Amino acid sequence: MSLTKGEYQPVFPERKINLHSYLPRNVQVPTIPEGISILTITNCIIKTSSQGYNLIKERIEVDFIDEVRRPLKQVFYLDTGMVNFSKFVDNILGEVPVEEFDPVILVGVKIRAFIFHNYLSNGKGYANIATCELYEENQLESETR
């Protein structure tokens, strides 16, 4: 069935859901709050892990601490998350390196990150970086003027 402009469109019955019934009893809120945080990269390594019979999965693990020393870990899988890791590097460096890239050079870099939370059906919460940029010490001073 294709509809053209001005043609009668069917009315679907209204459907409502009870969101409260989907909430788990114990919600575990991540330690880093949602919103803008200043994070320092403390570790950035490529790790190989075994996941089942003859299945090796490689990932890049990036560890951060915020200004009050709360930890955060962001994981990018080499087979599925490289576009996201490339975007992450581009946000920090301003470009994606053309030659081979050693993620260890990111250690010690400070970023200004926008954090959001995701929750699993069991209530476990995870903090994720939605977007970020290189943090410069005088950045907050210039923004408040």
Q: What is the pLDDT of residues 109-138, one digit of tens each?
A: 999 999 999 999 999 999 999 999 999 887
Residue 83 within any structural domain of the chain: yes
| Higher per-residue pLDDT: 113 or 22 | 113
pLDDT at 12 over 50: yes
Domain boundaries, position 109:
30-144
CB atoms within 10 A of CB 140: 12
Residue 25 within any structural domain of the chain: no
Residue 23 within any structural domain of the chain: no
Q: What is the pLDDT of residues 50-64, one digit of tens each?
A: 777 767 788 999 999
Q: What is the pLDDT of residues 28-43, one digit of tens each?
A: 999 999 999 999 999 9
Q: 3-class SS at 22?
A: helix
CATH number of the domain at 134, please.
Answer: 2.40.50
C-alpha span between 108 and 104 (Å, rounded): 9
Domains held by the chain: number: 1
